[in-house]
């Protein structure tokens, strides 16, 4: 983290205040997020078993109001919504690390955004979510070969081909235990590529966590029946 990077979420949120908004989830006038849509963001953990592992823990299903809120944040620049979304990522991380000892020695490694996404937004969604959730990030992954390009419309096989070889891990992860984090998992191809790159560099990948997973993946998983309230532990900032 650079000396000024901690200011970024606050500066973006301050700039967003100048514009009137409707609810990001349902369009209700004059509220950033209505109570009904806010309730829909309470973490509902899902565990995904992707080919080649490890397990991916998602805080929410990427559908309905959740999808609309995430898109309003990422594509619409409504960064105030990071505050509402961060507890789901924190919950997923907490679930992914259940039973894990020596958390202080663990590196939380984010999946880096594509170059196109960075140019379009000017900020990294995973970085802002992690900062709000109190997750110290270790940026050990770098995109190579121009990135994966647009994933929308591709099937799983095409996504796998596009992701393969697109990430490189720094040598600093050799011998380290790491947890991979991302914002939205669609096919799982990018997370799988992150795991491959980190393992190739000598890291031990203990798991992966994300804010939300698309329904097709979540439907093949084993969702938790209980609704989990946001946790306040070592990984979550007390507001």
Residue 138 to residue 126: CA distance in whole angstroms? 12
* pLDDT tens profile 186-215: 888 899 999 999 999 999 999 999 999 998
CB 165 within 8 A of CB 140: no
* pLDDT tens profile 35-68: 999 999 999 999 998 877 789 999 999 999 999 9
pLDDT for res 115: 82
pLDDT for res 25: 96
Domain that residue 134 falls in:
43-63+85-223
CB 143 within 8 A of CB 115: yes
Residue 80 lies in a domain: no
pLDDT for res 234: 33
* pLDDT tens profile 122-179: 899 999 999 999 999 999 999 987 544 555 555 555 555 666 778 999 999 999 999 9
Residue 53 to residue 23: CA distance in whole angstroms? 37
Residue 137 has which token pair?
């990030």
Angle between helix 82-96 and helix 64-74 axes, rounded to 10 deg: 110
Residue 155 lies in a domain: yes
Residue 28 lies in a domain: no
Domains: count for the chain:
1
Residue 127 lies in a domain: yes
Long-range Cβ contacts of 49-53 (<8 Å, 24+ apart): 49/220, 49/221, 50/188, 50/191, 50/192, 51/188, 51/192, 52/192, 52/195, 52/196, 53/195
Instruction: Write out the DSSP string of 52-90.
Output: T---EEEEEESSHHHHHHHHHHHTT--GGGHHHHHHHHH
pLDDT at 236 over 50: no
pLDDT for res 153: 55
Residue 160 lies in a domain: yes
Residue 96 lies in a domain: yes
CB 151 within 8 A of CB 125: no
Residue 25 lies in a domain: no
pLDDT for res 10: 61
Question: What CATH number is attached to the domain comprising 94?
Answer: 3.40.50
Residue 29 lies in a domain: no
pLDDT for res 54: 81
Residue 202 to residue 81: CA distance in whole angstroms? 36
pLDDT at 17 over 70: no
pLDDT at 230 over 90: no
pLDDT for res 160: 56
Residue 80 to residue 9: CA distance in whole angstroms? 8
pLDDT for res 104: 76
CB 222 within 8 A of CB 193: no
pLDDT at 31 over 90: yes
Question: Which residue from 51, 69, 88, 66 is spatially nearest to 217, judged by alpha carbons?
Answer: 51
């Amino acid at each position: 983290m650079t000396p000024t990077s901690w200011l970024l979420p606050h500066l973006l949120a301050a700039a967003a205040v100048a514009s009137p908004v409707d609810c990001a989830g349902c369009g209700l006038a004059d509220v950033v997020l209505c109570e009904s849509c806010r309730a829909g963001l309470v973490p509902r953990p899902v565990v995904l078993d992707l080919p080649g592992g490890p397990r991916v823990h998602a805080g929410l299903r990427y559908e309905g109001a959740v999808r609309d809120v995430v898109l309003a944040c990422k594509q619409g620049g409504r960064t105030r919504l990071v505050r509402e979304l961060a507890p789901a990522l924190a919950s997923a991380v907490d679930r992914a690390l259940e039973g894990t000892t020596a958390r202080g020695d663990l590196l939380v490694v984010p999946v880096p955004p594509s170059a196109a996404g960075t140019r379009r937004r000017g900020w990294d969604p995973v970085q802002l979510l992690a900062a709000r959730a109190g997750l110290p990030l270790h940026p050990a992954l770098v995109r190579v070969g121009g990135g994966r390009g647009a994933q929308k419309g591709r099937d799983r096989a095409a996504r796998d081909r596009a992701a393969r070889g697109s990430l490189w891990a720094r040598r600093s992860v050799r011998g380290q235990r790491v947890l991979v984090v991302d914002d939205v998992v669609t096919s799982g191809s990018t997370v799988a590529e992150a795991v491959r790159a980190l393992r190739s560099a000598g890291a031990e990948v203990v798991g992966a966590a994300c804010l939300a997973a698309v329904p097709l993946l979540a439907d093949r998983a084993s969702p938790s029946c209980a609704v989990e309230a946001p946790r306040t532990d070592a990984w979550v900032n007390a507001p």
